[in-house]
Amino acid sequence: MRELRIHGRGGQGSVIASKLLAVALFREGEWVQSFPAFGVERRGAPVTAFLRLDDDPIRLRCEITEPDDLIVLDPTLIDAIDVTAGLKRGGTILINTEKAPEEYPGLLERFRVATIDASGIAIRHGLGTKTQPIVNTAIVGAFAAEFGLISLESVKAAIEDEVPAKREANYAAAVEAHGAVRSAGPREVSHV
């Protein structure tokens, strides 16, 4: 089983990102389970979502405290909260940022870092506003390239299922992000 935790801020589309990943991974033959950290969401406040995938039906029904990998939709969260809490050594952190992975030397000591300017891509494709871009489909495209678990075809199918508006622009953002993700550091984590 592999466990992922997604950190974002209310309004960025973290929960939909976890659902899109679940739908795309299920299409690839994985058993999936995705859920938000249960709370009262407010725009701009830190939000967390979780994703489990496995070959067999998943039985654990509790929050994820020791994830294999992380997705961070807002880079300011890295300084604001302990996003890497419990993250397994050698796990991958996919960050929405303009920065290169090498600009996170502290994280690279323990983890693999992948970066994508999902906000810039979302703005270019007219998703959300310039101050509040909706970055979930771009991050899913970057996830597809970095993790190698889902094809762009599955991303497209998931967007058609789960995204109510601007499906073409959302898919175009995913494709652009797929081609633009940069990564550095070892990939050591073993999944059991």
Residues that bind other proteins (CB under 8 A): 18-19, 22-23, 26, 31-36, 38, 40, 57-63, 65
Q: Which residues pair with 49 in a beta bridge?
A: 6, 36
Choose among 132, 119, 98: nearest CA to 173.
119
Least distance to other proteins, CB of residue 39, Å = 8
- Least separation in angstroms between residue 86's CB and other proteins is 12
- Least gap, CB of 64 to other proteins (angstroms): 10
Nearer to other proteins, 22 or 113 (CB): 22
- Closer of 58 and 108 to other proteins (Cβ): 58
For the CB of residue 132, give the shortest distance to other proteins in the complex, in Å.
23
Separation CA 41–CA 181 (nearest Å): 29
Nearer to other proteins, 59 or 130 (CB): 59
Q: How far is the CB of 23 from other proteins (least distance, A)?
A: 5
Rank residues 26 and 184 by Cβ distance to other proteins and give the closer one: 26
Q: State phi, psi for 89 to the nearest 5 degrees.
A: -55, 135
With a CB cutoff of 8 Å and minimum separation 6, the contacts of 172 are: 125
Cβ neighbors of 73 (< 8 A, separation 6 or more) are 6, 7, 8, 9, 12, 13, 14, 17, 96, 118, 135, 136, 139
CA distances from 161 to 42, 93, 148, 158 (A): 25, 27, 21, 5
Measured from the CB atom, the residue of 61 and 130 that comes closer to other proteins is 61
- To other proteins, the closest distance from the beta carbon of 57 in angstroms equals 8
Do 41 and 165 meet the contact criterion of CB atoms below 8 Å apart?
no
- CA 114 to chain CA centroid, Å, is 11
Instruction: Please identify, using beta-carbon distances, which residue of 155 and 181 lies nearer to other proteins.
Output: 155
